[in-house]
């Protein structure tokens, strides 16, 4: 046993000795064990199973857990008052339990009496160390000793229970309990129930807060109302001060205006006197000039008077001669018109006679036939013209339709050109943004607005609990080339302009800053800045072979990365090169944990349930803001603009061609309209001719005998006689007219000679006369002006000055009285310190009246003072904020616990699957030692376990799916294989099995014994096997110990 002793020094938790007194059937029994394989044999009734029962009792199991008693006192031997169980364990090596306290051995002593039981832990010297159950439980947990686990201690009851169990659920319970999955699942289920209960409790607490919140809201409204009343009171006092001084200011303004008016009126007096003096000086010089001009005119007046007499006489003669000549000319013209009328009348009478006779001569049968032919010809022409008109209208309808189509085409091309121009403007705006981005990267994520906002944030940084982060795009970089920039822009572009704050108050401050800068619709995200970088388990991420957006991002802040994960799911958005690859990933392969797929050109693909969705790229987004090579992007956009301009020019040419075609069609349509109008007029004329022809035929038909033209001939003779007499008198008038014209010419020559002789004298007289008239007019104007200004001086200027002086004196007294009254209310310096805008007295009185009415109404509504309401509100607000923070903390903790529970559940499911496969492999490996094969099927959803065994002699290769279909030995061997398979999945310092070989034949028992010995020796752990059968085929050795209990007494 030397080898055994040396081995003991290296292990901890193995059983060295079990000693019982008055326990079950044993009065006193002590059994020693080695650290490897221990066999205990004996006849039925020798108390073999009591050893395992004592081991379970020592480690704290309840009586019902042993399935042999309902109370611990039932284990006391009949006739005894107490029972004692002592278990000695090794405690050496690296796994030793509190080696300083217990040393190399731990002794567990449990004493059972009728009244109760005690457990004592002792060290290697037998000294008591502890008697607390918690210390025993700590020891059990340290060595992973679970005596209720069938894989640690399989009593004969548990072995028999498994052998005779025919249902898959019972086998599953055995497997679940043996692998500790049942314990872990119960713990997780209990945690979930506790989380649900805690969440419900928090909901109840929040529900209880609602009346308090309502009271707080009412108090807040009251406080605002009372504060409004206080403000109104202050405003009323201010208004009274303003009103007092407003009246004084108005009186002062009136007084100053009066002084200014007096200055203005006084300034008029010297100006008016100066003007009067100037006018008098001017009048004096004008009168002197008038006297000299009158003297010069008097000498010229006599000469002019004689000339005028001669001129008047000759002018009268010229007038009379001209009148006589005009009368003769008028009479001559009248005679010519009368002769011309006679000639026209003679010609008309002669033509009438000719026509009458001619028509009468042509009224024959042949003429009538010709007129009828003309009638039918005109009717044929009218019909043909009507047909042409109808064809013309059809062609006009066709051209009108073509014109409408051409007009629509022109409108469509014009709209396309406008759309292209709009795209060109957008491209130009993008170029400007990119050029601005070259100088400052931040402008790419909000333009000039974000720069103003950042300056405002810097100015108001003390108002934030923590400085905001943003825009997010300024903290994000693109790893590698820029080919994925467009896809990233479409995927997370909306988040790049956002800002992050740490709480709601900071969000309100930031919103106010944005409003001040004119930055509307700013996206603000509230996130905990203290939260570390999210660590997402690998099993929750897409396949590593797929490229995610997160893998391409270079971010300098853990908070920004967390926001992009929470808000943008960048860890589950996959990037692919083209549509076919994306279709394979998201639709055909259905890769796990992939939310969306984006291609290089920005195409978006995803599945929701059974629905497959593909969205084309946004045409408004042409480049990504995360790209580094901005010059290349600008160059590409400029190329696009060039191509767009060429397209616009091409469309312009197309539009001009379409407009020219439309113009030609409209001209052609107008031409057809003119032809239609001409044709209609032609038809009308033909119809009129047809009607005249019909009337002429009717008239010819009614012709009688030769016409009578005697009266016409007599009138012609009379007209010829009158014409001859008038022509004679006209010759006489011509001679008389010639004489009168000669007379008029002679008189005009005389007048011209007279004018030439007196021209110089007349011109000198007229010049002097005109100068005198001008001087007299100036004198008259000067006299009127002098009179006007003197009147103004007396009636206006001096009177205004006297009136204004009196008014200023009155206003000065009123001003002094008003200032004195206003000073009694407040001083002018106090009023100026208020810094309030000036208003009129009327406005102030109106505001004061409204404020007084409002104050009276509000004072009637409130019974409490403002301080009382404010104190109540502050207390309740502090309490509510404290509760809210407390509940929010609870919610966060519950969320973290629930998240951790979800991770543990997933890990539990994964480990369960691993254990199932491991169990099948080990079970089949043990069966193969007897030439058998099998399989274990575990269904965690239905909680069933099925064992399938195929016997080597079964030629049909059919598996037995129910162990009750096996023989007793086969069932026991299968049970042993199943137990050994479970043993490899269980960690414990020792294991014990009772009656593991029941119902086996000799061959099965031999194979089973060899199997368990080899298994136990190879694993190097302590095993305790209890069997009533012969184990002589097992050879004792250094690692195998055999003990036999005495036969029971009769």
In 10 A of CB 989, how many CB atoms?
Answer: 19
**Residue 1046 DSSP label:** P
Name the pairing type of β-strands 604-608 and 596-598.
Answer: antiparallel
User: Is the model's pLDDT at 724 over the cut of 60?
Assistant: yes
Q: How confident is the model at residue 860 (pLDDT cuts 50, 70, 90)?
A: low
Burial class (CB in 10 A: 0-12, 13-18, 19+), 838: exposed
Give the pLDDT score at 414: 83
pLDDT confidence of residue 107: 94
The pLDDT value recorded for residue 17 is 92
Q: Helix (H, G, I), strand (E, B), or coil: what is residue 851?
A: helix
- The number of angstroms, rounded, from the C-alpha of 437 to the middle of its chain's C-alpha atoms is 23
pLDDT of residue 21: 92
- The per-residue pLDDT of the chain, averaged, comes to 77
Domain boundary among 621, 643, 678: 621
Question: What does 118-146 look like in DSSP terms, one character per residue?
Answer: EEEEE-TTS-EEE--HHHHHHHHHHHT--
Identify the domain containing residue 1034 by its residue range: 2-166+991-1044
pLDDT in tens, 414-455: 888 888 888 787 777 777 766 665 556 777 777 788 888 888
Residue 533 lies in a domain: yes
Q: With respect to residue 679, please indicate whether it lies within any of the assigned structural domains.
A: no
Span 898-924, average pLDDT: 82
Provide mean pLDDT across the span 851-880: 70
pLDDT tens-digit readout, 299-354:
666 666 666 677 777 777 777 777 777 777 777 777 777 877 777 777 777 677 76
Q: What is the pTM of this model?
A: 0.38
Strands (E), 959-1009: 990-994
Whole-number pLDDT of residue 704: 45
Range scoring the smallest mean pLDDT among 164-173, 583-592, 686-695: 164-173
Q: Please, what's the b/e burial string for 965-986 (b: 16 or more CB within 10 A of its CB; e: otherwise)?
A: ebeebbbbbbbbbbbbbbbbbb
Please indicate, yes or no, if residue 391 is contained in any of the structural domains: no
pLDDT tens across 633-678, in order?
A: 777 777 878 888 888 888 888 888 888 888 888 888 888 888 878 8
Span 1011-1040, pLDDT tens digits: 777 777 777 778 888 888 777 777 777 888
The CATH number for 26's domain is: 3.40.50.300
Final residue belonging to a domain, choices 586, 601, 621: 621
Q: Residue 85: pLDDT above 70?
A: yes
d(CA 46, CA 917): 40
Partnered with residue 950 across adjacent β-strands are: 933
State yes or no: pLDDT of 96 exceeds 70. yes
Confidence of residue 228 (pLDDT cuts 50, 70, 90): low
Band (pLDDT 50/70/90 cuts) for residue 9 is very low
Give buried/exposed letters for 676-686 (b at 16+ CB in 10 A, else e).
Answer: beeeeeebeeb
Higher pLDDT, 382 or 1000: 382
Domain boundary among 621, 647, 665: 621
Of 6-15, 510-519, 808-817, the one with minimum mean pLDDT is 6-15
Q: How many structural domains compose the chain?
A: 2
Q: Give the strand order in the sheet containing 604-608.
A: 547-548, 573-575, 596-598, 604-608, 611-615
- Least confident residue range of 392-406, 496-510, 923-937: 923-937
Cα–Cα distance measured from residue 25 to residue 22, given in angstroms and rounded to the nearest whole number: 7
Q: How confident is the model at residue 109 (pLDDT cuts 50, 70, 90)?
A: very high
pLDDT at 83: 92
Please give the pLDDT value at position 290.
73
More confident residue, 26 or 275: 26
Residue 261 reports pLDDT greater than 60: yes
- Report whether pLDDT(944) > 90: no
Residue 244 has pLDDT above 70, yes or no: no
Q: Is the pLDDT of residue 232 over 90?
A: no
Residue 525 pLDDT: 92
Query: If you average pLDDT over residues 527-535, what whole number do you get?
Result: 88
Q: Which residues contact 145 (CB under 8 A, 6 or more apart)?
A: 13, 59, 139, 152, 988, 989, 990
**Bond from prior residue into 431 cis (ω within 30 degrees of 0):** no
Question: Confidence band (pLDDT; 50, 70, 90) for 111?
Answer: very high
Q: Which pLDDT band, with edges at 50, 70 and 90, does 853 fall under? A: low
Q: For residue 988, what are its two tokens?
A: 């414990």
- Kindly indicate the confidence band of residue 8, based on its pLDDT and cuts at 50, 70 and 90: very low
Whole-number Å distance between alpha carbons of 810 and 1014 = 133
| Greater model confidence, 864 or 614 | 614
Does a structural domain hold residue 379? Answer: no
| pLDDT recorded at residue 955 | 45
Could you tell me whether strands 990-994 and 1022-1027 are parallel, antiparallel, or unpaired per DSSP bridges? parallel
Lowest mean pLDDT among 156-165, 424-433, 924-933, 952-961: 952-961
Q: How confident is the model at residue 294, as a pLDDT? A: 72
């Amino acid at each position: 046993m030397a080898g055994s002793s040396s081995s003991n020094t290296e292990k901890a938790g193995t059983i060295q000795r079990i000693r019982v007194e008055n326990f079950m059937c044993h009065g006193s029994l002590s059994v020693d064990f080695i650290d490897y394989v221990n066999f205990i044999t004996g006849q039925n009734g020798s108390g073999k199973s009591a050893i395992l029962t004592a081991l379970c009792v020592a480690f704290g199991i309840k009586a019902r857990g042993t399935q042999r008693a309902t109370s611990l006192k039932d284990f006391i031997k009949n006739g005894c008052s107490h029972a004692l169980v002592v278990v000695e364990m090794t405690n050496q090596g690296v796994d030793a339990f509190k080696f300083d306290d217990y040393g190399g051995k731990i002794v567990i002593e449990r004493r059972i009496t009728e009244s109760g039981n005690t457990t004592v832990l002792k060290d290697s010297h037998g000294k008591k160390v502890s008697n607390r159950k918690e210390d025993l439980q700590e020891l059990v947990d340290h060595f992973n000793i679970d005596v209720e686990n069938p894989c640690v201690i399989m009593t004969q009851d548990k072995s028999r229970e498994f052998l005779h169990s025919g249902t898959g659920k019972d086998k599953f319970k055995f497997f679940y309990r043996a692998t500790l999955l049942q314990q872990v699942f119960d713990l997780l289920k209990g945690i979930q129930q506790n989380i649900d209960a805690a969440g419900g409790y928090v909901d109840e607490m929040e529900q209880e807060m609602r009346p308090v919140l309502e009271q707080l809201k009412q108090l807040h409204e009251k406080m605002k109302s009372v504060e409004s009343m206080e403000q109104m009171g202050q405003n009323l006092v201010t208004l009274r001060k303003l009103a007092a001084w407003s009246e004084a200011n108005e009186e002062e303004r009136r007084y100053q205006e009066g002084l200014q008016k007096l200055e203005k009126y006084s300034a008029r007096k010297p100006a008016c006197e100066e003007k009067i003096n100037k006018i008098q000086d001017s009048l004096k010089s004008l009168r002197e000039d008038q006297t000299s001009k009158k003297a010069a005119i008097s000498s010229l007046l006599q000469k002019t008077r004689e000339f005028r007499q001669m001129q008047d006489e000759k002018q009268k003669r010229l007038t009379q001669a001209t009148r006589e000549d005009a009368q003769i000319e008028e009479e001559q013209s009248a005679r010519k018109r009368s002769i011309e009328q006679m000639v026209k009348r003679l010609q008309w009478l002669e033509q009438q006679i000719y026509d009458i006779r001619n028509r009468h001569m042509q009224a024959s049968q042949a003429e009538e036939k010709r007129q009828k032919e003309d009638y039918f010809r005109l009717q044929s022409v009218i019909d043909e013209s009507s047909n042409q008109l109808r064809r013309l209208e059809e062609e006009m309808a066709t051209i009108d339709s073509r014109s409408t189509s051409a007009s629509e085409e022109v409108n469509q091309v014009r709209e396309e050109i406008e759309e292209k121009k709009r795209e060109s403007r957008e491209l130009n705006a993008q170029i400007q943004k990119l050029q601005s981005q070259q100088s400052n990267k931040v402008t790419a994520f909000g333009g000039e607005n974000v720069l103003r906002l950042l300056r405002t944030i810097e100015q108001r940084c003390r108002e934030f609990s923590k400085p905001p982060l943003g825009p997010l795009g300024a903290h994000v970089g693109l790893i590698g080339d820029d080919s994925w920039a467009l896809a990233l822009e479409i995927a997370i572009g909306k988040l790049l302009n956002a800002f992050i704050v740490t709480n709601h108050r900071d969000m309100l401050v930031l919103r106010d800053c944005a409003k001040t800068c004119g930055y509307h619709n700013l996206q603000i995200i509230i996130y905990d800045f203290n939260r570390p970088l999210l660590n997402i388990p690998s099993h929750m991420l897409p396949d590593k072979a797929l490229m995610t957006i997160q893998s391409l991002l270079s971010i300098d802040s853990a908070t920004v990365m967390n926001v992009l994960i929470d808000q943008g799911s960048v860890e589950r958005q996959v990037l692919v090169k083209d549509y076919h690859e994306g279709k394979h990933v998201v639709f055909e392969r259905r890769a796990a944990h992939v939310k969306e797929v984006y291609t290089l050109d920005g195409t978006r693909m995803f599945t929701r349930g059974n629905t497959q969705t593909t969205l084309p790229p946004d045409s408004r987004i042409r480049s990504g803001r995360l790209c580094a090579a901005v010059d290349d992007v600008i160059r590409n956009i400029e190329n696009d603009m060039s191509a767009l301009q060429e397209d616009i020019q091409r469309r312009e040419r197309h539009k001009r061609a379409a407009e020219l075609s439309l113009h030609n069609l409209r001209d052609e349509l107008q031409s057809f309209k003119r032809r239609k109008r001409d044709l209609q007029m032609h038809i009308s004329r033909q119809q009129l001719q047809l009607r005249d022809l019909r009337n002429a035929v009717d008239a010819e038909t009614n012709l009688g005998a030769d016409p009578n033209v005697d009266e016409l001939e007599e009138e012609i003779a009379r007209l010829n006689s009158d014409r001859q007499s008038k022509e004679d008198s006209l010759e006489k008038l011509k001679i008389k007219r010639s004489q009168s014209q000669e007379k008029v010419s002679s008189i005009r020559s005389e007048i011209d000679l007279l004018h030439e002789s007196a021209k110089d004298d007349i011109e000198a007289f007229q010049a002097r006369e005109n100068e005198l008239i001008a001087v007299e007019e100036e004198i008259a104007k000067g006299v009127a002006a002098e009179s006007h200004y003197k009147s103004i001086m007396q009636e206006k200027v001096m009177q205004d000055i006297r009136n204004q002086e009196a008014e200023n004196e009155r206003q000065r007294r009123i001003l002094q009285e008003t200032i004195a009254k206003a000073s009694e209310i407040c001083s002018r310096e106090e009023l100026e310190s208020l810094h309030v805008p000036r208003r009129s007295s009327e406005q102030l009185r109106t505001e004061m009246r409204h404020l007084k009415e409002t104050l009276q109404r509000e004072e009637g509504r409130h019974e409490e003072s403002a301080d009382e309401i404010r104190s109540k509100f502050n207390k309740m607000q502090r309490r509510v904020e404290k509760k809210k923070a407390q509940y929010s903390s609870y919610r966060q903790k519950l969320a973290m616990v629930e998240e951790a529970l979800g991770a543990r559940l997933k890990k539990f499911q994964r480990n369960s699957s691993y254990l199932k496969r491991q169990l099948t492999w080990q079970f089949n490996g043990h069966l193969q030692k007897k030439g058998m094969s099998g399989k274990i099927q575990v269904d965690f959803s239905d909680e069933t376990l099925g064992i399938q065994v195929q016997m080597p002699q079964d030629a049909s290769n059919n598996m037995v799916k129910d162990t009750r279909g096996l023989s007793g030995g086969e069932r026991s061997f299968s049970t042993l294989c199943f137990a050994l398979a479970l043993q490899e999945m269980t960690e414990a310092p020792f294991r014990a099995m009772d009656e593991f070989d029941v119902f086996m034949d000799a061959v099965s028992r031999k194979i089973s014994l060899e199997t368990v010995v080899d298994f136990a020796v190879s694993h190097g752990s302590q095993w305790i096997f209890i069997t009533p059968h012969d184990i002589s085929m097992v050879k004792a050795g250094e690692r195998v110990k055999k003990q036999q209990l005495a036969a029971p007494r009769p």
